[in-house]
Amino acid sequence: MEHYSIDRHVDSDTRFSRGMWELKNGVGINWALEGLKSQTKCAANDEIYSVAATRRINSRGDTLNCPTISTNISSPREGIIGIESYHHVSTYKKSKVPSFTKFEDKDFKAKVVSEDTEDFQTLHSGDEFRAVVSAKPYTIEFKGRDEKSLTKLGYKSIGSVRDSRFDKPGATADKATNYMTAQLHVSVGEKLFGLGERFGPFVKNGQRVETWNEDGGTSSEWTYKSIPFYLSNRGYGVFVDSSSNVVFELQSERTTRVNITVQGEGIRFYIIHGPDPKTVLSRYTELTGKPALPPAWTFGLWLTTSFTTNYDIDTVSSFIQGMKDRDIPLTTFHFDCFWMKGFQWCDFEFDPEYFPDAKKSIADLKSKFDVKVCVWINSYIAQESKLFAEADEKGYLIRYVPEINDGAAYQTDLWQAGMGIVDFTNPDACKWYQEKLERLIDLGVDSFKTDFGERIPCKDVRYHNGADPVGMHNYYTLLYNKVVFEVLERKLGKNQACLFARSATVGGQQYPVHWGGDCESSFEAMAESLRGGLSLCLSGFGFWSHDIGGFEGDPDPAVYKRWCAFGLLSSHSRLHGSDSYRVPWNFDDEASVVLRKFTKLKISLMPYLYKFAIDAHKTGVPVMRAPLLEYPNDPNAVVADTQYFLGDSLLVAPVFTGDDGNVSYYVPKGDWYGFLDGQVRNSPSGEWFEEVHDYKSLPLLVKPNSIIVTAGPFSNHKSPVYEWNKEFMLNIYDISDVGTMTQIPDPNKNGEFACTVFATKISEHEIEIKIDGNFNKPYYVKLLDSSDKDLGVVNGQAKCSGRDELGNCIVEVVGDHVIIKSLFN
């Protein structure tokens, strides 16, 4: 008997209504209709406790047989208001559904104000955000800056649901299917985003979304990374604090509401104020955890063995040598599943037939090619693994409930014959699993691809800590990746750990990097992967990758080459496939040229790119950004889903066509300079552009008033790790009289900046540059704007040191405070 998937027919049929007026047969909802009391709950005067009747109370008799809904309104951090509503408190509090860790600000105190009338109270979370609780009818409205109404729980918006459509004859009340639902208002023109890595339409309005992780590829509504958090373009976000299956009806049941439903007697969620989307993400990740900072080497190119291909250490060496021969810098080599012997995954042992001396082989690869090494793992232990008996005997595996198979270890033949699943709620199992990984790290392994984590049983099983199996289905991946990340961090040091993880839930952003999973090899899959990545990055994740060229099937050379450009302009870049290799020379001669160009481009951009990696780590704002993050008030930018920003200044528009090279993309207002072609796109009010690009190009535009820090113009780095503050070039674009600034990271102090660069236009013909901090002189400046590509005079003296391939003059500068005069402005 296969105990795998949740009974989705029962748990996910949460459309309870028939139109606006009627409920489906067998469904009853007790709505919070009229406030009975609203009071401060604690001595600190920083929380509201309210009780609402589910009918109108006109006489004492109306208080009989009348269920109530209780609600706690609090603020764990400034700008965040929590709502916790429940029906039967004892059942709700005794629930064993795992709760996500929240990082509350213990020093922050909200303020509750009781108005002159008893009908309402207001909870203030800082100066710009508040919740107004009204009694008749019972509503909670959330207001932002300048009294702007962000959203509200209006009339009939919080309710306890009893669904008897699936009750068996004679079922008792404790076996009924009970839900709590909350329905948040959606305003005219409001757009909703996020909810994890969703590969369908980028704008979530009109969709029905379930937060239930599945191993389903990238071409359906299923996802590996379900996050019960959505972002609104009205300047707020909503986070539902449940690891169970949360169902969102985003204007798909009621056209003016987002209906949120969870099974059980209570619901807890948070409204997070911005007012801008970056602030919403920052506050969300303050509450649920900031992304760790991946080491700089992880931003280079990764190459893998692919999945089911045949390989040994000689094959691997030939691939790396082939990249070297073609002058394609390679940073990391990944060994996929078959580094272990078939039917024995995971035993964490290199297959001796192909890798007779793994430690020597890894050492040789590192010394000869200067690469990092990653290996595939998951949390499943096959019956033929030499570890299975030990794990079973010591209780390290998820087990059946006692009534099933006498409480034996849960086993399945799905993936590996007779495999069990490590129970990460057992501290001894965590330690045991980490010991296996420590041995691999001692062999020279630098990173782990933590595959799977979605096929987690939720029926008839039990966990060591007694957690609810349905809630553990999604929560499992958080524990799995946390265990692996922690052992890497312990062995290699802080800011030196990196995973390549497929599954995730809330909090998973703390353990990067995540990749998009098993996509097909087509332009359509390339586009859906981008939509998934942008949605994930709007859900609190700072870093994201995908399989360049696609995973399933053999990509056409056109797909491979276009995907290379897109992949190397992502935060993390990996060549990986299923049953065929992804080395470029297997496609055509030009593929190596394309891959070399964009790999070197990314390496040259590392001072810029790692700056935004640090920002993602500190603020929660992702490296890869949907245009709405940079232009939240531009209606075209808000919905754009075939382009993105890399950092805050580089606009990337991947090309989703082959030889014809046609691409359509949107450029916000301003004069934008083409980083690759030197052409200016004049966009006086926000314009769409239609262009043609060969395989060695794509639209890569620089936002006006920007500084892009790159490697020095005469360098030829083979690795993303170099002295970013010792030899660099300031590419300065269309600077305004307001000016701009950026920072250059210190490569020797992960997470810190070496210096800060300021640039300001001080007259029609002059730019002032100041640099504060630790940096080497000379450095280089390339001044580019919409009227002039040439450079001229530094402090009265011409110092053109050379020209780039577009003819731009590059000036050598020795001062930390200089004025540069353009020759032709």
Which residues are annotated as catalytic?
A: 451, 454, 518
Report the SS3 class of residue 60.
helix
Cα four-point dihedral sign 578, 582, 585, 587: positive
**Does a cis peptide bond (omega within 30 degrees of 0) precede residue 498?**
no
CA–CA separation, 497 and 372 (whole Å): 12
> What residues does 114 pair with on adjacent strands?
121
- Other beta carbons within 10 angstroms of residue 475's beta carbon come to 27
CA–CA separation, 773 and 636 (whole Å): 39
- Other beta carbons within 10 angstroms of residue 270's beta carbon come to 24
**DSSP designation for 586:** G
Report the SS3 class of residue 104.
coil
The CA-based angle 664-666-667, given to 5 degrees, is: 130
CA–CA separation, 449 and 374 (whole Å): 7
Cα four-point dihedral sign 270, 274, 279, 280: positive
Cα four-point dihedral sign 710, 715, 720, 723: negative
Residue 707 falls in which region: left (phi positive, over 0), alpha (psi -120 to 50) or beta: beta
CA–CA separation, 383 and 405 (whole Å): 17
CA–CA separation, 38 and 49 (whole Å): 6
Cα four-point dihedral sign 215, 218, 222, 228: positive
**In terms of DSSP H, where are the helices of 579-701?**
589-604, 606-619, 627-630, 635-639
CA–CA separation, 172 and 272 (whole Å): 39
CA–CA separation, 217 and 776 (whole Å): 48
420-421 vs 447-450, strand pairing mode: unpaired
Report the SS3 class of residue 312.
coil
Place of tokens 């808000």: 638
Identify whether the C-beta of residue 94 lies closer than 8 Å to the C-beta of residue 79. Answer: no
SS3 content of the chain, % helix, strand, coil (to 5): 20, 30, 45
Residue 491: name the closest of 536, 437, 527 by CA. 437
Report the SS3 class of residue 327.
coil
The CA-based angle 694-721-295, given to 5 degrees, is: 105
Say what angle helices 557-568 and 523-537 make with each other, to 10 degrees. 20
Cα four-point dihedral sign 814, 816, 822, 823: negative
Identify whether the C-beta of residue 420 lies closer than 8 Å to the C-beta of residue 397. Answer: yes
